[in-house]
Every structure is written in C-alpha cells, then in structure tokens.
Amino acid sequence: MTDQRKTNMKIIDLSHTLHPQMPVFPGDEPPAFNPMSSIETNGYQEYKITSSGHVGTHIDAPAHVYKNGASIADLPLDRFYGTATIIDLERTGSRHIEIEMLKEYESRINDCDFVLLKTGWSKNWGSDSYFSNFPVLSEKAAGWLVEKNIKGVGIDAISVDEIDSTTLTVHKILLEKGTIIIENLTNLNYIKQEIFTFSCLPLKIQNGDGSPTRAIAILKD
C-alpha cells in the first residue's frame, strides 16, 4: 500500500493478473505454476513458472518480428519509463484506428513518450469475444506515430494487428524504429489526467523477444 501522505501520488495498476486459467493468444499455452517446495515440507514455498513472454499485459521488443532486432535485455531502461497520454477511442466505435483520430490529440502526443490507446476492449477480457473484431492500428497511423519519436504504443486489446495477420505489418512498422508495443493493458478508464508518468518495466530476459510487465500509471495527487 502506498502511503499517500509521503508520496503525494496515486498509482494505478494497468496490468492483468497472471494465472493458469487466464486468456492467452489463440494457439499459445497458458502459464503454468508448478510447486517445487512447500512450507509444510521444506519450510518455504516456491513455484516453477512456465510461460510465454507474451502472456497477459506484456511488451513486444524488436526481436519479436526482426531476426536481428533488439531483445528486451538490449533495450535501455529509459525505454520503459516516461510521460504518457491516453487516446480515448472508445467513443468512436471504429475497428480501425486512423491518423485523423490521433491528430485530435497531436499536441499532447508531441509532449509524451508513450501513447496509450483506450478502445474499451479490455471489458471483454475473459470472454471469447476478446479475440475477434478488436480495434487495431492502421498502417498509416502506426507510421504517423513513429514519426513522433515516442518510446512506445500501448493498447487495451490483444494486438495492434488483426488476430489472423501473418505479416504483422503494424508490429513491424513500430518495432523497426524501436517503438515498443505494450498489449493487453487494462484499467485505462481510471486515468483522468491528460499527461501522467507511465512505467512498464520488463523482466531482463537475455535474447527475449517479449516480456510480461507490471504496467502502472503514476498520477499526481
């Protein structure tokens, strides 16, 4: 629990909880938590965790789609921390996020390191509908965003590309420029400030193409 009297800030968790029954990308295996020891037998509890690097709220690194792309461990820590703004697209109801929808927020985007796309799709987390007909970035919109030299793009859906995409073109447009992707965000509706501090530190995985993250928003009280 954060002591608000001392820190004068509020922290909002933007991450889904990892557990064996959680939703995962179609075809992937859910994480497994197998006991290695117990308090009753060993005096301490320890679990072996087996998981994809792209489970739950997670980061895609360039190595995810580029053979010689930077891995999670290659990227400097400051790539995962900075100022952010939310682009509220829920009211549009559109399947495709176009440049015109982003330009309404251009002045804020210019002042931020991260752009978080709030589509409202996280409300479908846990149901089959989460994996179909979710909003995705258009290729032109992705290209427009990387021109802003931001550190990352986040979304409250399973992917920035269509679920059946075999080319992952939007991923490639963003990751080619080192713009990390944060997928499966949640709780974006709790953020009312236009600009706030965002952190999405990953596990430091050698040659990692992605990693789960405990993404958070830090708001001024």
pLDDT tens string 128-184: 999 999 999 999 999 999 999 999 999 999 999 999 999 999 999 999 999 999 999
- Residue 1: the pLDDT is 42
Average pLDDT, consecutive stretches of 10 residues, N- to C-terminus, the chain (221 residues): 64 98 95 96 96 97 97 97 96 90 96 97 97 96 98 98 97 97 98 97 97 97 78
Check the CA dihedral 185-110-133-90 and report its sign.
positive
For helices 139-146 and 169-176, the axis angle rounded to 10 degrees is 10
Task: Please report the beta strands in the chain, taking only residues with DSSP state E, as ranges in sequence order.
Answer: 9-13, 32-37, 46-50, 58-60, 81-88, 96-97, 114-118, 136-137, 152-155, 180-183, 196-199, 210-212, 216-220
**pLDDT given at position 92:** 84
Give me the pLDDT at residue 164, please. Answer: 95
- pLDDT of 93 reads 80
